[in-house]
Amino acid sequence: MKFHWFAQQYYTKLPDDYGSTVHSSWVTPPASVADPSQVHEDYHTYLRLMQQADGLGWDSLLLNEHHQTSLAMTPSPNLIAAILAGTTQNSAIALCGNSLALYNPPVRVAEEIAMLDTISGGRIIAGMVFGTPMDTAFSYGVPPIELRDRFHEARDLITRAWKSEEPFPFNGKYTKLRYVNTWPRPVQDEIPVWIPGSGSVETWDVVNAFNYCYGYLSFSGKQSAEPIVKGFWDYTEQQGADTNPNRMAFTQIICCADSDAEAERLYGDAVKYFYRQNPTALEFATPPGYNSLPSIKANLTRARTMSNEERMKAQNGELSFWEYDELGYIIAGTPERVEQRVRDLVTDLRIGQLITCMHVGNLPEEVAAMNNQLFGTQVIPKLRDIWAGLEDRWTPKVSQQRIAERFPSAVTAG
């Protein structure tokens, strides 16, 4: 079982009425809300927490790419990754990811990831994402109907660039280059590739065709995710593709404390802040052409495990702390309770790569640091036995070796 440290790098000082007064926290949020001095403090908070996690045994430190949003101030995850590559020793650095369709030419992604892999000594996971409609269609102006073709063309160019020992021409529909000759080359012969998705069958097809890791990066918990995650495994089995649990990554908010009551006291407000302060305008989330007809059909026919009323209350921050826990949005409580809940989650959904969200909303840094300490020392070692006999080709060998040497409980067949 592998564990990946993550936080949406949220702006932590939004006005109390922000979520109910802005039209959308994505694409059009008022930039005047964000004080650059506070952004400075927030960035350094996240860096310190990730550096702490590196010393506690997390298998990777995970970063994402989003644009024009207070939800995640990470328009360039590669910049954060460059800092971590030089200030951490053990954990891999997972870029989940780079939005390939937004780069012109996308060979820039191949170059930057190769640089990061050499700086880190071979510790990079290359997450490649299609990108949300808010990021791609509205913040960067990519026509939704072109998004998937641009992504696939870019993926082909990037993976060829990492391996080619001679310059080569690339004559794609969107990118035409006479010379592709990436310097430097990556340290890793095979950089692990993860592709996050939200349930589209086209994503499942490319993940299975190239034996990549599939990441279901939802913040809606097990109940909401179960039809999609189990649907992926059913589809994978039908295709005769690899059903190794280490090919599944899943996001889960963790709220660990010395007692259940303490967990509610310490994390309750931050959880509600996270959900309440993130309205996304409907017109930005569902542009025509973003989803294919097969994916629309698949989504309409999936079982619904949560009522619309519960979903809306969750998004508006109107559930109680333990209702969020019951519905799986968070896993909260003592290390013993968190351990059992995580074990049930990952064994039921066949998850080999758990992306633990250890900071949420406006959580104070000292609470997030305590969360790291409790989960890293009292929960992770007790869960390493899950899937321990299975090979893991989706996290870098160097980071696996360093984690195993420093934390003997992390030793697996991978």
Mean pLDDT of 64-87: 97
Cα angle: 82, vertex 134, 105; to 5 degrees: 50
Q: 3-state class of 282 per DSSP? A: helix
Question: Which token pair is 125?
Answer: 């996971």
Structural domain boundaries, residue 221? 2-410
CA–CA separation, 1 and 91 (whole Å): 14
Q: Which residue has the higher pLDDT, 315 or 3?
A: 3
Q: Which residue carries 């984690």 as its tokens?
A: 403
Using an 8 Å Cβ cutoff, are 380 and 337 in contact? Answer: no
CA distance 261 to 332: 10
Close Cβ partners of 252 (under 8 Å, ≥ 6 residues apart): 221, 330, 331, 342, 345, 354, 355, 356, 357
Percentage of the chain with pLDDT > 70?
Answer: 98
**What is the percent of the chain with per-residue pLDDT over 90, rounded to a whole number?**
87
Collect all residues with Cβ–Cβ distance below 8 Å to 196 and sequence separation of at least 6. Answer: 96, 97, 127, 129, 214, 215, 216, 217, 249
User: Average pLDDT, stretch 48-58?
Assistant: 98
Residue 74, CB half-sphere, CA atoms under 13 Å: how many?
A: 25
Single out the residue of 63, 91, 66, 67 nearest to residue 79, CA to CA: 63
Q: Which amino acid is at 396?
A: P
Radius of gyration of the chain (CA): 20
**What does the pLDDT look like over 90-147, one tens digit per residue?**
999 999 989 999 999 999 999 999 999 999 999 999 999 999 999 999 999 999 999 9
> Mean pLDDT, to the nearest integer, of 8-30?
96
pLDDT score for 414: 43
- Quick check: 324 and 271 in contact, CB under 8 A? yes
Mean pLDDT of 401-412: 83
* Alpha carbon of residue 309 to chain centroid: 27
Report how far residue 6's alpha carbon sits from residue 17's, in angstroms, rounded to the nearest whole number: 26
**With 80 as the cut, is the pLDDT of residue 305 above it?**
no
Total domains in the fold of the chain: 1
- Residue range 224-246: mean pLDDT, rounded: 94
The CATH number of residue 362's host domain is 3.20.20.30
Backbone dihedral angles phi then psi of residue 286, each to the nearest 5 degrees = -135, 60
* Ramachandran angles phi, psi of 127, nearest 5°: -80, 130
Tokens representing 15?
């006005």
Backbone φ and ψ for 24, nearest 5 degrees, come out as -155, 140
Decide: 71 and 388 in contact? Cβ < 8 Å. Answer: no
Confidence of residue 304 (pLDDT cuts 50, 70, 90): low
